[in-house]
Amino acid sequence: MHRVAMGRRIASAVATASLVGALGVAGAAPALAAAPAPLSFTIDYTKNTSIPQSPSLGGGFAGNGPVLDASGRVIGRTFDTCGIDGVEGPTKMDADCGAYIIFNDGDELNLSTQAVIDANPMDYPYRFKAVVEGGTGVYNGAQGEATVTAERPGVYKVDVKFS
């Protein structure tokens, strides 16, 4: 009887060790791809955009326009939608925005922000942060933060740092 009980304990220990080993392998985190290199570009919504003249609380707007590199060359297009969820004053509104940048090579970068948008040209430049929400191609699964500088109404310089 002692020998049978010991055999069961050994078999149980081997089964437990196998299960723990299998769970350890299955639970292991996949190797992460290297983060993309930092990226800078300018979005120009003054070309081909549709922003209402008098945005109102609960309303929204959408825009699109070219994405430019530092030399002014078009490297893609952007599309955004914003919902106005607060009014800060006669020229400032809180907007919840998502922007989708589609580069000429087909890769897409998705950004999201909750920011104060200012329509008064005298208050420029101003900055706000955006969140990197992944994308496609080299930006698939990317995370990070973008610093957005509103240079003038409808023109934004975007500096992205991936983590």
Q: What is the CATH number of the domain that holds 140?
A: 2.40.480.10
Strands (E) located in 6-139: 39-44, 60-68, 74-87, 92-103, 108-118, 126-135
Residue 8 has pLDDT above 60, yes or no: no
Tell me: the pLDDT tens digits for 30-45? 455 688 999 999 999 8
Number of domains making up the chain = 1
Q: Structure pTM?
A: 0.75
| 13 falls within a domain | no
Band (6; pLDDT cuts 50, 70, 90): very low
pLDDT (average), residues 139-151: 96
